[in-house]
Amino acid sequence: MVTATARNSGCHAQASCLTCSERSRSICASCGPEELRQLEAIRFFRSYEPRQTILLDGDMVDFVGTIISGMVSLTKIMPDGRIQMVAMLRPGNFLGHPYRTQASYNAVASTSVVMCGFRRQPFENLLRKIPELGQGLLEQSSKELDAAREWMLLLGRKTAREKVASFLIIFAREKVAQDPSFLKKQMHLDLPYTRAEMGDYLGLSLETVSRQFTALRDDGIVDPQGKRGVTILNYAALLSETGDDADGGWLA
């Protein structure tokens, strides 16, 4: 369900889908002007504050949507209270499942979030009418499946050091994509997660996460700052610590 404190966002209310900055990587990327006009007719915008719950596992859900800005964590809570993250949604990613009325995870805003939403039934109707929209949803689902498989690898087979390095690379790569000069210079990251939350999501204790940050600092790779901040001193060295054979970009 949409929580009581969620609010309609006016900042995007008059924006055309044609000029949307996230359209190129969203499910409507291949839609033409007429198809986008039909989507505009049924869309709405909502914003969420950091740490605000968007969906609860088991909720009846009557909407789906694309993340326009911010980050959303999809999590499961185990019977003993432990939290396991199953996915991170970023701008362009799709939240929710058409044709499924019940949430199968918790969705929490990790940062301030703006979502372009659609009521389920009108959206399902457009899926049947617009092949490009269905193709976009299929492509998003395929990327989500690939990311889930890589997340399984991270949790099941990587060492604590590789897990922490891989987690940091997720965010570092976004800055490198925006400015390739960060490949050869320091970059500061304000992470959306505390060290304790990182431990919950990576299956590590807070003490283990802290030890790995200390070890990476002692090796001149990162410089931790406070509960969320970290400066990447050597991107190439951090990438080499992920244990990946390719470029470490498994959650792009």
Mean per-residue pLDDT, 174-203: 88
Q: What is the mean pLDDT of residues 65-73?
A: 93
Sign for the CA dihedral angle at 230, 236, 237, 238 comes to positive
Looking at 10-49, list the stretches that DSSP marks H as alpha helix, in order from N- to C-terminal side: 33-42
Mean pLDDT for all residues in the chain: 86
Local structure of residue 102 (DSSP, 8 states): B
Nearest CA to 105 out of 88, 127, 121, 128 is that of 88
| pLDDT value, residue 25 | 87
The pLDDT tens digits of the residues spanning 198-247 come to 888 888 999 999 999 999 999 999 999 988 899 999 999 999 999 875 44
What was the pLDDT predicted at 245? 54
Tens of pLDDT along 112-135?
A: 999 999 999 999 999 999 999 999
Express each pLDDT in 90-108 by its tens digit.
899 999 988 888 999 999 9
Q: Per-residue pLDDT for 12 more than 70?
A: no
Cα separation, 8 vs 14, whole angstroms: 13
Which pairs count as long-range contacts for 124-131, CB under 8 Å and 24+ apart, including other chains?
Answer: 124/98, 124/99, 126/38, 126/39, 126/42, 127/98, 129/38, 130/31, 130/35, 130/38
Q: What is the mean pLDDT of residues 160-188?
A: 90
Total residue count of the chain as it appears in this document: 252
**Mean pLDDT for the stretch of residues 50-69:** 94
pTM for the complete prediction? 0.79
Domains of the chain (ranges, CATH numbers): 7-154 (2.60.120.10), 159-240 (1.10.10.10)
Full DSSP string of 42-74: HEEEEEE-TT-EEE-TT-B--EEEEEEES-EEE
Tokens of 40: 């505009």
Mean pLDDT of 141-155: 79
User: What's residue 250's pLDDT?
Assistant: 40
Percent of the chain with pLDDT over 90: 56
What is the three-class DSSP state of 164? helix
Compute the average pLDDT of residues 141-162: 82
190 vs 1, higher pLDDT: 190
